[in-house]
Amino acid sequence: MKDIGKLREFFKKDRYIIKNGIEIVEINQDFAICKAEIGEGHLNAKDMVQGGMIYTIADFTFAVLANYLHDFTVTQSATITYINQAVCKTLFAKSVELDATKHNCIHQVRVYDEKDITIARVQINGFIL
Protein backbone atom coordinates (compact mmCIF):
# COMPACT_ATOMS: atom_id res chain seq x y z
CA MET A 1 0.00 0.00 0.00
CA LYS A 2 2.18 2.79 -1.32
CA ASP A 3 -0.01 5.61 0.01
CA ILE A 4 1.25 6.26 3.55
CA GLY A 5 -1.87 8.25 4.44
CA LYS A 6 -4.13 5.32 3.52
CA LEU A 7 -1.82 2.91 5.32
CA ARG A 8 -2.03 4.98 8.50
CA GLU A 9 -5.83 5.13 8.13
CA PHE A 10 -5.96 1.35 7.75
CA PHE A 11 -3.98 0.75 10.91
CA LYS A 12 -6.15 3.18 12.91
CA LYS A 13 -8.73 0.41 12.77
CA ASP A 14 -6.41 -1.88 14.77
CA ARG A 15 -8.10 -1.55 18.15
CA TYR A 16 -5.56 -3.74 19.97
CA ILE A 17 -2.78 -1.37 18.91
CA ILE A 18 -4.77 1.69 19.96
CA LYS A 19 -5.60 0.13 23.33
CA ASN A 20 -1.89 -0.56 23.82
CA GLY A 21 -0.95 3.04 23.01
CA ILE A 22 1.29 2.10 20.08
CA GLU A 23 1.87 4.82 17.46
CA ILE A 24 3.59 4.83 14.09
CA VAL A 25 6.60 7.17 14.20
CA GLU A 26 8.00 6.73 10.69
CA ILE A 27 7.53 4.69 7.53
CA ASN A 28 9.91 4.77 4.59
CA GLN A 29 11.50 2.44 2.03
CA ASP A 30 14.21 1.36 4.46
CA PHE A 31 12.46 0.96 7.80
CA ALA A 32 9.46 1.61 10.01
CA ILE A 33 9.55 2.80 13.62
CA CYS A 34 6.76 2.62 16.20
CA LYS A 35 6.68 3.70 19.82
CA ALA A 36 4.62 3.48 22.99
CA GLU A 37 4.73 5.58 26.15
CA ILE A 38 4.86 3.00 28.92
CA GLY A 39 2.19 3.18 31.61
CA GLU A 40 0.87 1.06 34.47
CA GLY A 41 -1.20 -1.05 32.07
CA HIS A 42 1.87 -2.33 30.22
CA LEU A 43 3.54 -3.84 33.27
CA ASN A 44 3.86 -7.44 34.45
CA ALA A 45 3.88 -8.75 38.03
CA LYS A 46 7.52 -7.71 38.39
CA ASP A 47 6.87 -4.09 37.26
CA MET A 48 8.62 -4.58 33.94
CA VAL A 49 7.10 -4.16 30.48
CA GLN A 50 5.23 -7.39 29.85
CA GLY A 51 6.69 -9.76 27.25
CA GLY A 52 3.45 -9.76 25.27
CA MET A 53 3.62 -5.98 24.88
CA ILE A 54 7.22 -6.25 23.66
CA TYR A 55 6.17 -8.83 21.06
CA THR A 56 3.12 -6.77 20.07
CA ILE A 57 5.04 -3.60 19.22
CA ALA A 58 7.58 -5.65 17.23
CA ASP A 59 4.97 -7.53 15.24
CA PHE A 60 3.00 -4.36 14.52
CA THR A 61 6.09 -2.50 13.31
CA PHE A 62 6.79 -5.41 10.97
CA ALA A 63 3.18 -5.23 9.71
CA VAL A 64 3.50 -1.50 9.05
CA LEU A 65 6.66 -1.85 6.97
CA ALA A 66 5.63 -5.05 5.17
CA ASN A 67 2.25 -3.63 4.18
CA TYR A 68 3.97 -0.51 2.91
CA LEU A 69 6.55 -2.38 0.82
CA HIS A 70 4.24 -5.14 -0.45
CA ASP A 71 0.62 -6.00 -1.01
CA PHE A 72 -1.38 -7.19 1.98
CA THR A 73 1.07 -9.13 4.18
CA VAL A 74 0.44 -11.19 7.32
CA THR A 75 2.76 -12.66 9.93
CA GLN A 76 3.33 -16.35 9.31
CA SER A 77 5.84 -17.04 12.06
CA ALA A 78 8.08 -15.05 14.37
CA THR A 79 10.93 -15.75 16.76
CA ILE A 80 11.49 -13.35 19.65
CA THR A 81 14.56 -13.33 21.88
CA TYR A 82 14.49 -11.19 25.00
CA ILE A 83 17.88 -9.49 25.54
CA ASN A 84 17.46 -7.07 28.47
CA GLN A 85 14.70 -6.43 31.00
CA ALA A 86 12.40 -3.61 30.02
CA VAL A 87 12.24 -0.98 32.74
CA CYS A 88 11.68 2.13 30.68
CA LYS A 89 9.54 5.17 29.88
CA THR A 90 9.22 4.68 26.13
CA LEU A 91 9.42 1.53 24.06
CA PHE A 92 10.46 1.68 20.41
CA ALA A 93 10.57 -0.91 17.64
CA LYS A 94 12.33 -0.63 14.29
CA SER A 95 11.72 -3.10 11.48
CA VAL A 96 14.04 -3.65 8.52
CA GLU A 97 13.41 -6.02 5.63
CA LEU A 98 16.19 -8.56 5.12
CA ASP A 99 14.84 -10.31 2.01
CA ALA A 100 11.67 -10.73 -0.02
CA THR A 101 10.44 -13.06 -2.73
CA LYS A 102 7.10 -13.06 -4.54
CA HIS A 103 5.06 -14.39 -1.60
CA ASN A 104 7.44 -14.21 1.37
CA CYS A 105 9.41 -11.60 3.22
CA ILE A 106 11.64 -11.71 6.27
CA HIS A 107 12.26 -8.83 8.63
CA GLN A 108 14.56 -8.17 11.57
CA VAL A 109 12.96 -6.07 14.30
CA ARG A 110 14.83 -4.45 17.17
CA VAL A 111 12.87 -3.39 20.26
CA TYR A 112 14.69 -0.79 22.37
CA ASP A 113 14.09 1.85 25.01
CA GLU A 114 14.66 5.60 25.29
CA LYS A 115 18.29 4.95 26.31
CA ASP A 116 18.78 2.89 23.12
CA ILE A 117 19.17 -0.33 25.12
CA THR A 118 18.06 -3.39 23.15
CA ILE A 119 15.10 -5.10 24.81
CA ALA A 120 14.42 -7.80 22.23
CA ARG A 121 15.19 -9.02 18.72
CA VAL A 122 12.49 -10.53 16.54
CA GLN A 123 12.89 -12.29 13.19
CA ILE A 124 9.54 -12.34 11.38
CA ASN A 125 8.41 -14.29 8.32
CA GLY A 126 5.60 -12.63 6.39
CA PHE A 127 3.29 -14.12 3.80
CA ILE A 128 2.46 -11.70 0.98
CA LEU A 129 -1.06 -12.39 -0.28
33 or 64, CB closer to its own copies?
64
Q: What is the DSSP string of 60-116?
A: HHHHHHHHHHSSSEEEEEEEEEE-S----SEEEEEEEEEEE-SSEEEEEEEEEETT-
> 100: left (phi > 0), else alpha (psi -120 to 50), else beta?
beta
12 or 114, CB closer to its own copies?
12
Burial 71-94 (b: 16+ CB within 10 A, else e): eebeeeebebeeeeebebeebbbb
- To its own copies, the closest distance from the beta carbon of 26 in angstroms equals 19
29 or 129, CB closer to its own copies?
129
- To its own copies, the closest distance from the beta carbon of 79 in angstroms equals 4
Q: d(Cα 53, Cα 70) in Å, to the nearest integer? A: 25
31 or 125, CB closer to its own copies?
125
- To its own copies, the closest distance from the beta carbon of 57 in angstroms equals 8
User: Which residues are near its own copies by CB under 8 A?
Assistant: 10-17, 19-20, 40-45, 50-53, 55-57, 59-60, 74-84, 98-99, 101, 104, 106, 108, 110, 118, 121, 123, 125
- To its own copies, the closest distance from the beta carbon of 29 in angstroms equals 19
